[in-house]
Structure 1
Amino acid sequence: MQQKVLVIENSQVSLNLMEKLVHKANLTPIGARSLTEAQYKFSHATPEDYLCAVVGYQLPDAPRGEAIDFTTSAFLPTIVVTDEISNDVRDAVLARDVVDYVPKENNQVYDYIARLLARLDKNRHIGVLVVHGRRGPRAYMASLLYRHNFSVFQVGSAKDAMAALAQRPNIQLVLTDSALPDESGTRFIANLRKLFSKEQLAIIGIADGNSAALSAHFLKSGANDFLRLPFCHEEFLCRIMQNVELMENVESIRSAANTDYLTGLSNRRHFFYTLSMGYQTLPTPHALALLDLDFFKTVNDTHGHDAGDAVLKAVAALLTRHFNDELVARFGGEEFCVYLPQTDADTAIERLEAFRRQVAALKVEVDQGGPLTVTVSIGMTFQPANSIEALLSAADRLLYQAKAQGRNQVCSDS
């Protein structure tokens, strides 16, 4: 079920617009045009169903931000929107424990609100580590991060930070002071970069003082970004959001490069890369299987390429379920590959035979002429080899043998 967002706006036009932004973030808006209406709707719902609130600063029955006090006291992360742009209003809003303050000054702010709503949902799964020798600044930064739904961890030294990173694989962002009790901030960052790339872990340096060279030292040591104390509340959270989104964008690009667009399986390039990075020498015992759908061209010629795509996706889904603990890839066309490390011949044959039978029993629903059935021929090698290319050549010869012997069978060299 989608999480709810409480939207409190005086104007029906503004309320409709905010509800559209909530839908854009794949969330469910619950609208109200006054504080009284919002209190009623919230009291008749389960509070845990709500992700956050979007609140107008001025309402008929809450002219000075009283609705903000209601949502923050209900422990709802609160985004405040205002028609009025003034320092007095800004200061009044930011004096409260809000997620952010967004004046309606141009169209870009609406895109920002949509991104912010989506972030509040995603941030629950992202760990942020705050590393600072003094409790006050550490607690302040943590309090801002908690408002954005991050999973926050606090430590006071580089040693404790390394231990936290080893124990908490969900940590994706580190905020570190320039002068830690046991190590300089730049040395700490340099040590982190030996273990984590910028795509794996974002690092933001935090420092007091006016040294112009300090930011350069941080960045040259491997930091993604730098903030100087005292920082602006809004700048701090914008920098956090930008760094997290940059990491996510890089991961999306990497995933697109490594994934077959149709089936969602790894592609041939990623298959080779994973094996080369995972094994300096290929382990034994092991098995490698090449799988090819029988008479697949007939499916495309008779039923069309949409039907062929449906068959490929159905077989890929079956591969994923059956070999969810192994490396599986689509090599192209109707050909797939499965690598099974530390697997003896009897076990591998049993698993591939079971998969072959499941494919033969598969019925794929298509728009015309369905359901379709298909079979698969499999060539599997168990021979020790110095390279993945040698294994593939052996498996390919066995696959050709399976085709020549009548298809819908497993041929192996065990």
Structure 2
Amino acid sequence: MLPIPATPVPTSPASFDSPSITPLPQRILLVENSRTFTTMLREAIEQRLELPVSVASSLAEAGELLDRESGWFLVLTGLVLADGDRDQVVSYFVDRGLPTIVVSGVYDEDLRKRVLQQQIIDYVLKNTPGSVDYLVWLVQRMDRNRRIAALVVDDSPSARAYAAALLSMYGYQVIEAADGSAALRAIEADPAIRLVIVDQEMPGMEGVELTRHLRALRARDKMAVIGISGNSDPSLIPRFLKNGANDFLRKPFSREEFFCRVSQNVDQLELIGTLQDLATRDFLTGLPNRRSFLEQSQRQLASAGTGDVSVAMVDIDHFKHINDSLGHEAGDQAIRAVAGVLQAHTRGHDISARFGGEEFCLLVAGMSASESTRHFEQLREAIAALHLQFAERSLRMTVSIGVCRMPLRAGALHQLITEADRQLYLAKAAGRNRVCSVQLP
């Protein structure tokens, strides 16, 4: 059984983007004759992961559920059922192509080995301390794996197919490459690749050299690289690690060891992404925070060519009255609603952020003066059209917007923010719910 990560990872890590836009199956089937354990595990999965769980106590009930409902993605099954022996239970689900986790109440090494010879995810003892927590983690890991692409690089077709089959069984979207050149092309073409398995002995470009090239394309906090080799050279492991690998596996490796190493490295990537989000994103809205806005804007302005750029400061009108009359929860909802409108009006190369309190900031480039004016007026109107309901009371709100527009030049960001802030003050002083803007030479 894998150790559970010491630090829990949030359910929806922002650093991992889904490579697929097709809705993924969500339903979990729990097949077990112990009501106490079933209730405990079902509640834990549904409450912590918000995934729907259906329960059956026999193969017949399980079959009825599978035939009646669609969208199944995982089965957790015990081995002691009234209408099937141990081998029949496992093959019943595996033969249907369903990812299956076996949950057993008795440790039997021969049984464990026999079960693991079939295409199951894991064999877990349910009566050990922490078994429910481990199973919840395992379900979460399987759910997240479906949104991660993995690359296997090996010139041996059989070895490559074996590693690819294991990763596919664990839910990853797998890409294969027969040599280093093909691997580098795959990495450049697919930003969804977060895991690479690299064999050392390959013609043209050995694994250590490929790892060095991979690191030049993608940093450690964006992609995990695991080296593999059957070579007994003791210097190989440190060479891989010093050239950017996260981990190393010696061939031949067991399925369980492979799953442990892969899962721990992907968990680490997600944890790093979570910490980065905590440092750069506003906890309430999910927008970049002030620090992140300043850093991103400086980089964007430094790399931009010529032309004008606009910075807008947006402030919710009479926000203190919202908090005082409806409560701070209503104030939080108002901030989130405004942030949602800002996100909808933020193009791919624009930057929007929560600056603090009820104040937001946007950086918009590539618009003419008339386009900029129309853009921020549309933003103001969209926020004014919001209608939030709080029990018996409803809320409509407005914003004041100050905009500064000027040609790109060194030190432009500080001047843009300072002048946009002054224009915001003028908008407030003129009666609120309006846009005040200035064009600087």
**Fold conserved (TM > 0.5)?**
yes
Give SS of 2:235's match.
helix
Shift, 1:21, TM fit: 4.1
Q: Provide the residue aligned with 1:273 in structure 2.
A: 295
**Residue aligning to 2:381:** 357
Q: 1:197 aligns with which of 213, 216, 219?
A: 219
Q: In the TM superposition, what is the alpha-carbon distance from 1:72 to its structure 2 partner?
A: 0.6
What is the letter of the counterpart of residue 69 of structure 1? S
Structure 2 residue aligned with 1:348: 372
Aligned partners of 1:206 and 1:226 also within 8 Å: yes
Q: Distance in 2 between matches of 1:108 and 1:349?
A: 59
In structure 1, the partner of 2:282 is 260
Seen in structure 2, the aligned counterparts of structure 1 residues 321 and 219 have a Cα distance that, compared at 3 Å, is: same
| Counterpart mapping for 1:210-225 below 5 A | 210-225=232-247
What is the aligned partner in structure 1 of residue 204 from structure 2? Answer: 182
What corresponds to 1:412 in structure 2?
Answer: 437
For the aligned residues, what is the CA RMSD?
2.1
8 Å contact from structure 2 (residues 401, 423) kept in 1:
no
Task: Give the aligned residue type for 1:295.
Answer: H
Q: CA deviation at 1:274?
A: 1.2
User: Deviation string for 1:24-72 (max 9, x for gaps)?
Assistant: 43222222222233233323333xx111111223333322321110101
Taking only the aligned residue pairs, the percentage that are identical comes to 34
Distance 1:282 1:391 in 2: 16
| Conservation of the 8 A alpha-carbon contact between 1:303 and 1:368 | no
Pair 1:328 & 2:352 matched:
yes
Deviation at 1:129, TM superposition (A): 0.4
When the two structures are aligned, how many residues end up with a matched partner? 412
Preserved CA contact (<8 Å) 1:288 1:382: no
| In structure 1, C-alpha distance between the alignment counterparts of 2:432 and 2:49, rounded to whole Å | 49
Aligned to 2:10: none
1:100-115 aligned at under 5 Å gives the runs 100-104=122-126, 106-115=128-137
CA displacement at 1:303 relative to structure 2: 4.1
| Equivalent-residue separation in structure 1 for 2:139 and 2:352 (angstroms) | 35
Query: What SS does the aligned partner of 1:61 have?
Result: coil
Contact 2:79–2:89 (CA under 8 A) maintained in structure 1: yes
1:290 is matched with which residue? 313
- 1:65 match: secondary structure: helix
Q: For each residue in 1:250-284, what CA deviation from the matched residue of structure 2 results, as whole angstroms up to 9, or x when unmatched?
A: 11111121111222221111111112333425542
Gaps in structure 1 of 5+ consecutive residues:
none
1:123, distance to aligned residue in structure 2 (A): 1.4
Mapped to 2, the partners of 1:100 and 1:53 lie a distance apart of 11
Aligned 8 A contact 1:129 1:154 in 2: yes
Does residue 149 (structure 1) correspond to residue 171 (structure 2)? The answer is yes
Give structure 1 regions of 4+ aligned residues with deviation exceeding 4 angstroms: none
Equivalences for residues 109-128 of structure 1 within 5 A: 109-128=131-150
What is the letter of the counterpart of residue 157 of structure 2?
R
Query: TM-score, normalized by length of structure 1?
Result: 0.93
Please state whether the residue corresponding to 2:252 is helix, strand or coil: coil
Shift of 1:96: 0.5
The change in CA–CA distance for 1:109 and 1:358 in structure 2 (over 3 A counts) is same
Q: How far did 1:307 drift?
A: 3.3
Report the TM-score when normalising by structure 2: 0.87
Matched with 2:7 is: none
Alpha-carbon distance in structure 1 between the residues aligned to 2:317 and 2:51 = 44
Q: Aligned pair in 2 of structure 1 residues 184, 266: CA closer, same or farther (>3 Å)? A: same
Decide whether the 8 Å contact of 1:260 with 1:267 is kept in 2.
yes
Change (3 A) 1:295 1:59: closer
CA distance in structure 2 between the aligned counterparts of 1:245 and 1:214, rounded to whole angstroms? 25
Structure 1 residues 375 and 18: CA distance shift in structure 2, 3 A: closer
Q: Do the aligned residues in 1 keep the contact of 2:400 with 2:428 (CA within 8 Å)?
A: no
CA distance in 2, matches of 1:273, 1:122: 30
Does the CA-based 8 Å contact 1:258-1:267 persist in structure 2?
yes
Checking the alignment, whether the CA contact within 8 Å between 1:80 and 1:98 is kept in structure 2 is: yes
CA apart distance, 1:405: 3.2
**Which residue of 2 is the match for residue 208 of structure 1?**
230
1:148 and 1:238 map into 2 onto residues whose CA distance is: 11
- Label 1:369 to 1:18 Cα distance change in 2 as closer, same or farther (>3 A): closer
CA contact (8 A) 1:379 1:402 kept: no
